[in-house]
Amino acid sequence: MDDSRVDEAIASGKVPAGITAAFLKESRDKASIAGIIFVTSLTLLIVVSRLISRAFVVRRFGFDDGLALVSLPVIEKICLVAFVGLCIELILLGSGRHFDYIQYVLDVPTVLKTEILDFAAHIIYTTTLLLCRISGLAFYHRICSKHKGFRIAIKAVFGILIAAYLPQLFLLIFHCQPLTGYWPYGWEPGMDIYTCLAWGLVYSVNSSVSLVCDMFLFGVPVAMLRMSRMPRKRKVQLGCILLPGTAVIGISIARLVLVILGQWQTDMSWSYDPMLVVEVSEIGATLIALSVPGFKPLVDWCISRTDPGVQSGGSYQKNGSGQRSKGTALNSLKMRSRHSMLAGSETAAYYDTEIRAGSQHENSSQEGICLDGRFTINVKKPKITPHRDLCLNLSSRCHARPRMVPWSRWWRHLLASSSAGGAAAQPMRHGPQQRGETIALLLPPSPVVDGYGRWLRAALESHRPTAMRSVFAWLALLVVGARAAGEGIFEFTPPLIPLEENADSADLFPVGDCFGFKLEEATIDEMQGAMRDGRLTSVNLVACYMRRTFQTQQYLNSVMQINPDALAIASQLDAERKAGKVRGPLHGIPFTVKDNIGTKDNLETTAGSWALLGSRVPRDAHVVARLRQAGAVLFGKATLSEWADMRSNNYSEGYSGRGGQCRSAYNLTVNPGGSSSGSGVGVGANAIAFSLGTETDGSVINPAMRNSIVGFKPTVGLTSRGGVIPESEHQDSVGTFGRTVRDAVYALDAIWGVDSHDNYTLAQRGQTPKDGYAQFLSNKDALKNATFGIPWKSFWVYADAKQQMALGELVKLIQSAGATIINGTEITNYETIVSPSGWNWDYGTSRGFPNESEYTYVKVDFYNNINKYLSQLKNTKIRTLDDIVTYNKHYSGSEGGYPFPNGHPAFFSGQDGFLASQETKGVQDQTYFQALGFCQSSTRNGINNALNYRGKNLNGLLVPVDPGQSYQIAAQAGYPLVTIPAGIHRDSGMGIGLGIMQRAWAEAELVRWASAIEDLQRTSGTPYKRTLPTWRGYLERNLPVPL
């Protein structure tokens, strides 16, 4: 691949920050191609020499030679040449370059081509190896045809090779569904239609099976040499002829190691070129090893320059008739007498043998080793009594690496060691502990054992010593494995109670060590790196976030309910990772969702209301299902403002009857932001990795800003509302929270997409990037080409002086990085549509025009949508909005059904929002449509016109997030908005946010510029960025908190 592609990719902005051109241009291609050509040439030379030797020197062809000459070499060479050609083509296409090169430099058609070629290459590779091995078995069969035991063994090995080939082929062909030949990466377009096995799993299994096949194949000559009786020198010489194949086993091990290393490394493709060389070497070495015995006569002839057929005492001596002997170079093989097939006297099993060997029988015309043997078996069989009532406790202690002792003593050693742990059940014993003792075992119905249970029981009942040894070996592995998996991973927590001496500092609630990993401010990439390196597991991560929640919950109340299955989910994902399957960047990462996002599991979905406690949703919300598919771990439900702020117009933000008051770690006495309060608070306080929230008007952006984190509210219709407790289909959107832009974008990439339960998502077709949004993450260098607008009169004038100062300094920093800043890019008709007094979703009515008010249509939408949602629930009597209103009145003390003081102080105006919606009866009248049309058209035109400033398209509008007019205009338009931390407000201690506005479906622009500004903040040393909370007022419990 031409390195100019690297420069082009960097220039186009496709390559993220931190990845250098020098790194992308690194290559092992030339060395790999040279190695492949060398191995191929050497292989062809030796195979051709073998055929010449057999045809013109020995002048004798055995069955294997005929088979090899007529079919296999032809097929093998075709396969070998095809495989070599495909390998070289794959290397030239860039498959063996750094993974970042494949993702950011190669275009999608090239990547797809490499996947198809890799698919074809490995089918050819697997088939070629099978044909080579069958050729080898034919050779071994020729030289051992007189020995019945070896004939049976060779046939058994043949069966094993075929039985192994079929699942290998099956895994290669059906690695992905639907079956297309592609093996798409997680970032490829259309990946969501595929269900694929992890490539590491497929290659590891196939490599392991191939290694086992090689061990069986080349175990045949090892057994022949072991049973031969001849001088040591002669045996060494014979070993040099028969045992080059053991090198193939080493090559198979090397391939397996490369596969394992590749799948656990982030830069997995960097091992691909060496792996191709090893695979070609494996085929070549197999052919060479099987050709060496036939090649030897040619070597002898070349050395002596005489016809080997006339040498005396040689393997090719002419007999009395002047004809060549039909023997072979191995005709002196003799077997040991009284050869013990099992090691260790305590097995009580011997094969008493009397064997003689010669070049041929007197009456036989077949060549080969003539072996006559008499085998008598004397075995004192242990009596095994299967017992159904005795349990082997797999969590018991045992030595991880027990001493190598005969099986019976080892078994007693294991039991004794297990008993030392105090947990293992002893086997039933009848009589003295000696050969013939009765051992009764029951394998418990454990997931660890179920897969092996039937096989182990059958082997126990078979009474064969070899089977017994295998059984105990497997039991040992199971005990050790169970110990590794089940041994306590939890420790006593460090001190969690905050100390007064640390008040008003980040040290008041320090984030503890997480099994050697620094959890505080850890990014998703850092968590993945630790799990990939084996320093951390998902179970560890969930446990650490649980501990952090226990530490902060009594103060922040960010979590409504912890998922009781979180650890089980994490352990399953750890098992997947161990097996080579990593679903993507969120694999094993814990997250929370706002309590109005449905989950069909052991969690409640109540919108914070006692009225919906115990209700069951019909399915997971679409966004939750997508995150589960991405491998994220649902940690729990986050607290929220009850009913997402729809129930009341004067209330305590972050409060719900079921969840209580959520408080921000930055200042526990003020509004924590809402209505997705717990989502923002949890991420900001390092109590969860990322979270989902919902927004109708500001409910993602506002809590993200106040908790100094990134909040991403996408275009209405990019993320499905299916399964979410609704407000307005015209403005509801599911958004993401993260401590960094990248983390928030990882979550967004996992949840966006079309959903049949939300027809608004159909509008995204043709509007979204094929490879998701993470590809647009950039660094500060991207700002050199950026142009931003400042709608000063529309929004900036309403921010207080301290916000204007902080955001102004950040804008200057952006300008110093090379961006162009244009002031005065105002929203069209801002004088009419922007509330001068702050956020007000009934601003039209305040002006005397309810037909220009957002609240006019939202309360109608809510009535219709909530009744439809409630009708689909099970296990609840709450079916309509009227039922909710009645419930709140009946339990006014906890649900504030009446205005305070007759209700609850957190719901000062009672449930006036519900009553206003109830009054509409869901009727969409003329006023409704006028209000909807006015708000949507005026805000959309206003933003579009501001972004097209004097005919120049701007990259975004930079806006203050507080006091809320900016995100209100974006919400009415259904347009995307992102907020990034921009420092801390000196008076309140709460976060300040810089918002970036864009038109519909322009999330890619927001990702590019938000990440670029974030990178600038982190590298410049500016104080106007994310800052850790200082926990102001951590002992105060005012209610309500000021809105």
What SS3 class is residue 959?
A: strand
Closest by alpha carbon to 24, among 99, 110, 101, 108? 101
What SS3 class is residue 166?
A: helix
Contact 863, 923 (CB under 8 A): no
Neighbours of 257 (CB within 10 A): 14
- Separation of alpha carbons 168 and 86, rounded Å: 19
DSSP category for residue 14: -
pTM check: above 0.95: no
pLDDT band with cut points at 50, 70 and 90 for residue 831: very high
Q: How much of the chain, in percent, has pLDDT values that exceed 90?
A: 52
More confident residue, 143 or 365: 143
Residue 470 predicted with pLDDT over 60: no
pLDDT, position 43: 79
Question: For 419-440, how does the pLDDT look when each residue is reduced to its tens digit (9 = 90+)?
Answer: 333 333 333 333 333 333 333 3
Helix runs in 28-71, H state only = 29-52, 63-70
Mean pLDDT of the 29-52 span: 81
Omega before 1042 within 30 of 0, i.e. cis? no
Residue 326 predicted with pLDDT over 60: no
Question: For 574-586, how does the pLDDT look when each residue is reduced to its tens digit (9 = 90+)?
Answer: 999 999 999 999 9
Question: For 484-494, how does the pLDDT look when each residue is reduced to its tens digit (9 = 90+)?
Answer: 444 444 567 88
* 846: CB partners within 8 A, 6+ apart: 835, 840, 853
φ, ψ at 978 (rounded to 5°): -125, 145
Q: Which amino acid is at 583?
A: R
Beta-strand pair 176-177/660-661 = unpaired
Mean pLDDT of the 988-993 span: 96
Mean pLDDT of the 771-795 span: 96
Mean pLDDT value across the chain: 79
Give the largest Cα separation in the chain, rounded.
125
Question: For 252-307, how does the pLDDT look when each residue is reduced to its tens digit (9 = 90+)?
Answer: 788 778 777 666 566 667 777 788 888 888 777 777 776 766 655 655 556 544 44
Mean pLDDT of the 31-46 span: 84
pLDDT, position 484: 40
Q: What is the dihedral of CA 1021, 1025, 1027, 1033, to 10 degrees?
A: 130
DSSP category for residue 853: -
Q: Which amino acid is at 793?
A: K
DSSP category for residue 768: S
What SS3 class is residue 190?
A: coil
pLDDT, position 991: 97
More confident residue, 454 or 369: 454
Q: Which amino acid is at 609?
A: S
Question: For 145-154, how does the pLDDT look when each residue is reduced to its tens digit (9 = 90+)?
Answer: 666 777 788 8
Contact 694, 646 (CB under 8 A): no
pLDDT band with cut points at 50, 70 and 90 for residue 59: low
- Separation of alpha carbons 740 and 1011, rounded Å: 8
Q: Which amino acid is at 26?
A: E
pLDDT band with cut points at 50, 70 and 90 for residue 1029: very high
Residues 332, 699, 733, 938: which is the catalytic one? 699
Residue 20 predicted with pLDDT over 50: yes
* CA separation, residue 953 to residues 780, 785, 1005 (Å): 20, 12, 12
State which of 20-29, 44-53, 359-368, 617-626 shows the largest mean pLDDT. 617-626
* 481: CB partners within 8 A, 6+ apart: 448
pLDDT, position 459: 39
Neighbours of 422 (CB within 10 A): 9
Residues 269, 675, 778, 917: which is the catalytic one? 675
pLDDT, position 113: 83
Contact 73, 51 (CB under 8 A): yes
- Separation of alpha carbons 473 and 181, rounded Å: 39
pLDDT, position 55: 65
- Separation of alpha carbons 992 and 806, rounded Å: 8
DSSP category for residue 760: G
pLDDT, position 383: 34
pLDDT, position 264: 58
Neighbours of 578 (CB within 10 A): 13
- Separation of alpha carbons 436 and 354, rounded Å: 28
Q: Which residues, listed in sequence order, are joined to residue 582 by a DSSP beta bridge?
A: none
Helix runs in 763-880, H state only = 801-816, 830-833, 843-846, 854-871
Mean pLDDT of the 504-515 span: 93
* 978: CB partners within 8 A, 6+ apart: 710, 711, 712, 713, 741, 744, 995, 996, 1006, 1007, 1010
The rounded Cα 496 to chain-centroid distance in angstroms is 32
List the chain domain ranges: 30-308, 407-486, 500-835+934-1020, 843-933
Residue 317 predicted with pLDDT over 80: no
- Separation of alpha carbons 395 and 449, rounded Å: 12
Active site residue 609: no
Q: Which two tokens stand for residue 1001?
A: 């479906």
Say which residue the tokens 């997971």 belong to. 620
pLDDT, position 73: 43
Neighbours of 162 (CB within 10 A): 12
More confident residue, 930 or 30: 930
pLDDT, position 429: 34
CATH architecture of 500-835+934-1020: Alpha-Beta Complex (3.90)
Contact 257, 274 (CB under 8 A): no
Active site residue 32: no
Residue 553 predicted with pLDDT over 70: yes
- Separation of alpha carbons 269 and 280, rounded Å: 18
Residue 495 predicted with pLDDT over 60: yes
Mean pLDDT of the 110-126 span: 81
pLDDT, position 402: 31
pLDDT, position 279: 80
Active site residue 780: no
Residue 83 predicted with pLDDT over 50: yes
Question: For 597-612, how does the pLDDT look when each residue is reduced to its tens digit (9 = 90+)?
Answer: 999 999 999 999 999 9
Q: How much of the chain, in percent, has pLDDT values that exceed 70?
A: 73
Residues 146, 594, 713, 859: which is the catalytic one? 594
Mean pLDDT of the 894-902 span: 95
∠ Cα 986 990 994 (to 5°): 95
- Separation of alpha carbons 288 and 247, rounded Å: 10
Mean pLDDT of the 465-492 span: 44
